[in-house]
Structure 1
Amino acid sequence: MRIAYAALLTLSATALPLAALTAQGAPTKPGSKNPAAITGGTYTADSGHSLVKWTVDHLGFTPYYGIFGDVAGTLTLDPKNPNAAKVDVTIPVSKVTTASAGLTSHLLKPAAAGGKPDFFGPAPADAKFVSTRVVASGETAKITGNLTLNGVTKPVTLDAAFYGAGKAPAMMGGKENVGFTATTTIKRSDFGVAYGIPMVSDEVKLDIVAAFQK
C-alpha cells in the first residue's frame, strides 16, 4: 500500500509541470508554412534534420527502405528571385542505414577477389548534388542538377516543395531556419550499381528532407 501511494505521489509531481504549462497556454511552433517567413542569404544544411530516404521494390512482394543521413552543404536563397537559388549538398554514402544489420553490411561489403562490390563497397565516396537550374512556381520548384554517386555523375531533376521557415527559439540557437521536401526517381544501374536487378528494382525512389539554417 505504501509503495502504491508513493508511486501516486511521484506521478502527481511529474504531472504538475504539464498542468502549469497547459494553464499558461500551449507553446506555438516557431516554423511557419508562410513563404513570407523566409529570409534571404546563404544557409548551411542542418545535418541532424536532413535525410534522403530511398525505396526499392523487393521481389515484387514489398517496398524496402533505407536512409542516407548527415547531409552537409549550403543553400543560397533570395525570396524575391527564387529561380536564382543554388544548392550544393554532400551525402555520406558510408553512413547508409537500413532496418537490417545484415543488409546494411552487404551494401558496404568489400568486393570479392578480382571483382567489384555488389553495391557501394567498404569505403564509398560521398554522393553530391549540385543544382544547375531552378524553376519555381509558387511554393514548389523543379530543381535540376548533377548527382554524383558511386563515381558517376548524371543530371537529375527534383520535385521540391517549401515546408516551413522561421527563427528557432533562443534555447535552440536562435537561427533562421528553412525546410523543404523533394522527390525524384533514379536508376541505380545508371550509377554502376546493378546487383540483383530485376529481383531488386533498378528504379530507386528518393524522398528528401532538407533543413537549412543561418
Structure 2
Amino acid sequence: MTRFNRLGAVLVASSTILSASHALAASPKVTSGDYKVEPAHTQVIFSVLHFGFTPFSGMFSQASGKLHLDTAHPSKSTLNVTVPVASVETSNSVLNNELKGDAWFDSAKYPNATFVSTKVTPMPGNRAVIDGQLTMHGVTQPVTLHARFIGSGVNGLDHAYTVGFEAHGEIDRGSFGIKTYIPAVSEKVEVRIAGAFEKIE
C-alpha cells in the first residue's frame, strides 16, 4: 500500500469513528417510566460445555414482563420477566422435545422461568449489576446479571419508544434440580440476554 493510500485509509477510518461517536452523542435521552417486554426482539441464549468438546447453545423466546426504569435514581429501577420454558430451541429438533420433558425442564409441570430483581447497582459505562431471584423447575435461587444499556428511541416499524439492553450471567443448573448428564454436559450454564422494552403509555 502506498503512503497516499495509507493516509486515505486512516482518514476514512477516522471519519467512520467520528460519525459513530456523533451518532451516539445524538441518541435520544433515555426516558424514565414503565416498560413492557417486546417479545419479538428479546432472547435468552444459553450455552453449556458438551462432553468437553464444544460449547452448545440454545435459546428461549416469547418473554413477557415489565421494567420500571428510573434514570434519575437507577438503583430504584426494577425488573420482572417471565419466559415460557416450552419456547426452548436448539439446532436439534429431537433435543428440543427432550429438553421440554421431565428429565430436563419439565415444561408441563413447570411452564415458566421467572426472574425478579431485588437490587440494581449502577456501574460506570452505562452498565449495572442486577441481583435477583430466578425461579425455574420449581426452585428459586439468587442470580446475578451484568447488564449494559445499548440504546433508546422510537422504533421505526411499530413507532413505540423502545430501550434495549444486553446482559450476561451464569447459572448452576444442578441447584435447580436439572442434573441430567452432569458432568458430561456442564453444570454451569452461561446465559446471554438481549432485552427490548417498549414504553407503556
Same fold by TM-score greater than 0.5: yes
SS at match of 1:103: helix
SS at match of 1:97: coil
Contact 2:106–2:137 (CA under 8 A) maintained in structure 1 = no
Matched, 1:178 2:178: no
How far the C-alpha of 1:33 sits from its partner, in A, is 7.6
- Residue 133 (structure 2) aligns with: 146
In terms of Rg, which structure is larger? 1
SS at match of 2:71: coil
Matched, 1:164 2:151: yes
- Residue 17 (structure 1) aligns with: none
Give the counterpart of 1:100 among 92, 101, 119.
Answer: 92
Give TM-score scaled by structure 1 length.
Answer: 0.78
- 1-structure distance, mates of 2:174, 2:182: 9
How far the C-alpha of 1:175 sits from its partner, in A, is 1.3
Runs (5+) with no aligned partner, structure 1: 1-30, 110-116
Give the counterpart of 1:69 among 43, 61, 68.
Answer: 61
- 1-structure distance, mates of 2:25, 2:151: 4
- Residue 28 (structure 1) aligns with: none
- 1-structure distance, mates of 2:181, 2:34: 41
Cα distance, 1:34–1:205 mapped onto 2, change above 3 Å: farther
SS at match of 2:178: coil
Contact 1:42–1:75 (CA under 8 A) maintained in structure 2 = yes
Letter in 2 for 1:141: A
Let me know the Cα RMSD of the aligned residues: 1.6
Aligned residues: 175
- 2-structure distance, mates of 1:32, 1:94: 38
Letter in 1 for 2:118: T
How far the C-alpha of 1:182 sits from its partner, in A, is 0.4
How far the C-alpha of 1:130 sits from its partner, in A, is 0.4
Contact 1:67–1:96 (CA under 8 A) maintained in structure 2 = yes
Contact 1:32–1:165 (CA under 8 A) maintained in structure 2 = no
Query: Which consecutive aligned stretches of 4+ in structure 1 deviate over 6 angstroms post-superposition?
Result: none
SS at match of 1:55: strand
